[in-house]
């Protein structure tokens, strides 16, 4: 029965190998390396030979005995199998030998060599099952080949995902467009970016208008419009019009280089799980080897000496060899870094840059999330948020306010100008009288307009209606009569409420908001967004001490993350277990200070980052538990003689294949 299964499997291997060799491997986009190609041919040849040998009946060899000399058939059969064994396993044997010479005994090559040579020896002794040794070696090699192919392929596809590196920059020389290495472009050079090309270097648009695709940087598919005078970030793809850009940075200092650097180095910072696995692998293999030795020697001795039974060396040596086959830690060692790498790659595709596997791990344990209000949950720009108690048209009132304040450079005035939307015609304004700390009185189209706070109204003796909203209030009086007030406040980001809810759904237990703003404003925002705790009226230094306080309240494995906009909250970012900077496109300081960088300023991305990290870590743990669990089960079954070498090798290769496939799932994070 077992023989039939193996024969069928061999046939399947031959077929699959043929497909890979002559179909997949010959396609132009095939990522097979030369080494893999050679190995594939060896697998193909030796499995085909093995299959043929299996199909030749043993009686044929027996007939040779009669025709030539006694046991001629036996030796010929052995020679043929041995040739096949060397065909598939010679490199393993060589490496094992080198390993012994270099005193690096306990590696998987050594284990496989000992296990299969041992099985071969047992087979010669019994003139029987050479198949076992060769099959074990063959399937081990298939496993190795698959691992190297799958890892290489996923490595390439992840690298392709992150491939935002521009290959050249266009500069105009003698009236002609010339492609140069972006490294050689000096600051202040004007470069030309044609539609469909990547912007290679950060700069300012000096000519042309176009829409940019920033999705490679931010994961945001909405195009961004740019025109003359706008800053432009490298890594975006120019979609519609020709742009001339004056560079403001060198290539190496540009956003795209910084991001690539960061992502490429990310997987070098190892997580605790990875450390655990490499330590585990270091202990595991020798431990299994010594147990195998003990298994081969001790039970027979005990049987002989203590129990007065026959030693039964063959059985115990076979069990020990089975043990050795299971001892390769490959599934674990490969799948954990692959998971993290895929997770980091997938995240960067979504505009979430993670600086290391360790941060991904910490992020997944985050239970407390601390937000800086301005720029994180709110937009950080003050805008007209409401007009109340006005008899006039809203637009008219804004027009009066904007004109009256047109001479002022105060942020409030700027918000009014923005709300007005047009360039104020200064000639319509006269007799401007700025009353410091109160407001402005001016004549607009000859009509007296007063715009200012409560104190101005009191000074002018005009009764006003106080506002119950939080924010800056500008009371308006026209011709000495109250005309309502304009509310200017920082506006909450459109996705903020949804983001908080989705963070809670993702497993964050506590949300905290820190702000330097007035209590009234802070409380209102917190209530609107359903944030648990608010600390308001904080100075920058207070924020650090608040975070420290919150850090002390943490218990066990729960971690605290701080989200800021990267501007003047660097100390807090580095103090928290994990610092997340958002809206970092183009902000070097934020990229430096944070552990995780969100390329755009959508708060939903925080929830997304946490979900990605959770998924990735879940897969890591699945792989750890599955691989160790299956190995432990096989070890026990092998020791008591239930599992034979076939089961051992299938467990080993099978677990590895499943673990690798599972790890690649980390890449798909789009719909989290």
Q: Which residues bind another protein (CB under 8 A)?
A: 35, 94-95, 98, 102, 104, 107-108, 144, 147-148, 151, 155, 158-159, 264-265, 267-268, 270, 278, 281-282, 329-330, 333-334, 337-338, 341
Q: How many CB atoms sit inside 10 A of residue 553's CB?
A: 10
**Residue 574: partners with Cβ closer than 8 Å, 6 or more residues away:** 593
C-beta of 257 vs 511, nearer to another protein: 257
C-beta of 332 vs 561, nearer to another protein: 332
For residue 98, the minimal CB distance to another protein (Å) is 5
* Rounded CA Rg of the chain: 36
Instruction: Pick the closest to residue 564 from 544, 548, 537 (CA basis).
Output: 544
Q: Nearest 5°: phi and psi at 279? A: -70, -45
For residue 374, the minimal CB distance to another protein (Å) is 37
Active site residue 372: yes
Q: Which residue is it, tokens 């956003």?
A: 255
C-beta of 147 vs 536, nearer to another protein: 147
Coil vs helix vs strand at 560: strand
As to burial, measured by CB atoms within 10 angstroms (0-12 exposed, 13-18 middle, 19+ buried), residue 22 is exposed
CA gap 597, 543 in Å, rounded: 20
Instruction: Pick the closest to residue 328 from 548, 59, 49, 114 (CA basis).
Output: 114
Q: The tokens of 481 are what?
A: 């009569």
For residue 652, the minimal CB distance to another protein (Å) is 13
For residue 342, the minimal CB distance to another protein (Å) is 9
Q: Per 3-state DSSP, what percentage of the chain is helix, strand, and coil (rounded to 5)?
A: 55, 20, 25
For residue 140, the minimal CB distance to another protein (Å) is 12
Kind of pairing between the strands at 366-372 and 510-514: parallel
Coil vs helix vs strand at 224: strand
For residue 405, the minimal CB distance to another protein (Å) is 55
For residue 267, the minimal CB distance to another protein (Å) is 5
CA gap 654, 634 in Å, rounded: 12
C-beta of 102 vs 555, nearer to another protein: 102
C-beta of 341 vs 535, nearer to another protein: 341
CA gap 351, 599 in Å, rounded: 5
C-beta of 150 vs 440, nearer to another protein: 150
C-beta of 39 vs 169, nearer to another protein: 39
Kind of pairing between the strands at 203-207 and 243-247: antiparallel
202, 372, 569, 601: the active-site residue: 372
Helix (H), strand (E) at residue 152: helix 130-161
Task: Give the residue numbers marked as catalytic.
Answer: 372
């Amino acid at each position: 029965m077992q023989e039939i299964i193996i024969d069928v499997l061999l046939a399947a291997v031959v077929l699959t190998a043929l497909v890979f060799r002559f179909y997949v491997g010959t396609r132009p986009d095939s990522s097979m390396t030369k080494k893999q190609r050679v190995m594939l041919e060896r697998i193909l040849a030796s499995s085909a030979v093995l299959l043929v040998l299996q199909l030749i009946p043993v009686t044929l060899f027996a007939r040779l005995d009669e025709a030539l000399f006694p046991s001629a058939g036996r030796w010929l059969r052995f020679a043929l199998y041995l040739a096949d064994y060397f065909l598939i396993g010679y490199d393993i044997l060589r490496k094992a030998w080198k390993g012994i010479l270099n005193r690096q005994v306990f590696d998987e090559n050594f284990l496989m060599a000992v296990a299969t040579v041992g099985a071969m020896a047992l087979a010669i002794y019994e003139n029987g099952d050479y198949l076992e040794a060769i099959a074990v070696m063959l399937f081990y090699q298939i496993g190795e080949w698959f691992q190297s192919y799958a890892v290489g392929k996923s490595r390439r596809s992840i690298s392709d995902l992150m491939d935002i590196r521009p290959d050249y920059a266009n500069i105009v020389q003698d009236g002609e467009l010339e492609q140069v290495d972006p490294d050689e472009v000096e600051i202040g050079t004007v470069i030309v970016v044609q539609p469909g090309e990547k912007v290679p270097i950060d700069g300012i648009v000096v000519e042309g208008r176009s829409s940019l695709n920033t999705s490679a940087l931010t994961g945001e598919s909405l195009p961004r419009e740019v025109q003359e005078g706008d800053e432009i970030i490298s890594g975006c793809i120019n979609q519609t019009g020709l742009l001339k850009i004056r560079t403001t940075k060198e290539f190496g200092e540009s956003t795209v280089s910084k991001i690539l650097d960061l992502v490429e180095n990310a997987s070098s910072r190892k997580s605790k799980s990875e450390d655990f696995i490499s330590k585990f692998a270091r202990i595991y293999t020798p431990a299994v080897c010594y147990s195998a030795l003990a298994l081969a020697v001790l039970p027979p001795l005990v049987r002989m000496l203590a129990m007065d039974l026959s030693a039964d060396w063959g059985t115990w040596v076979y069990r020990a060899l089975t043990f050795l086959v299971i001892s390769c830690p490959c599934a674990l060692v490969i799948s954990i870094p692959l998971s993290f790498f895929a997770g980091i790659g997938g995240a960067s595709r979504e505009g979430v840059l993670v600086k290391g596997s360790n941060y991904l791990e910490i992020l997944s344990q985050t239970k407390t999330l601390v937000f800086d209000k301005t720029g994180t949950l709110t937009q950080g720009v003050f805008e007209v948020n409401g007009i109340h108690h006005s008899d006039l048209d809203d637009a008219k009132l804004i027009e009066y306010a904007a004109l009256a304040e047109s001479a002022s450079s105060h942020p409030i005035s700027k918000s009014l100008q923005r709300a007005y939307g047009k360039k104020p015609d200064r000639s319509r304004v006269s007799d401007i009288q700025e009353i410091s700390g109160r407001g402005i009185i001016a004549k607009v189209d000859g009509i007296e307009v007063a715009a200012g706070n409560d104190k101005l109204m009191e000074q002018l003796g005009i009764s006003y209606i106080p506002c119950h909203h939080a924010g800056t209030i500008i009371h308006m009086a026209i011709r000495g009569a109250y005309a309502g007030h304009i509310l200017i406040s920082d506006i909450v980001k459109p996705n903020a409420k949804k983001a908080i809810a989705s963070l809670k759904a993702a497993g964050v237990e506590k949300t905290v908001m820190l702000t330097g703003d007035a209590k009234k404003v802070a409380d209102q925002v917190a209530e609107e967004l359903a944030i648990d705790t608010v600390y308001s009226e904080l100075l920058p230094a207070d924020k650090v001490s608040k975070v420290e306080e919150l850090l002390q309240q943490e218990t066990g494995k729960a971690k605290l993350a701080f989200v800021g906009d990267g501007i003047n909250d660097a100390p807090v970012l580095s103090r928290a277990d994990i610092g997340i900077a958002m809206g970092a496109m183009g902000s070097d300081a934020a990229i430096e200070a944070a552990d995780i960088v969100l390329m755009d300023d959508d708060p939903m991305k925080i929830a997304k980052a946490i979900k990605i990290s959770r998924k990735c870590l879940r897969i890591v743990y699945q792989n750890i538990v599955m691989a160790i669990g299956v190995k432990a089960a096989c070890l026990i079954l092998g020791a008591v003689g239930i599992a034979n070498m076939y089961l051992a090798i299938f467990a080993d290769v099978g677990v590895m294949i499943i673990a690798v496939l599972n790890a690649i799932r980390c890449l798909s994070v789009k719909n989290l």
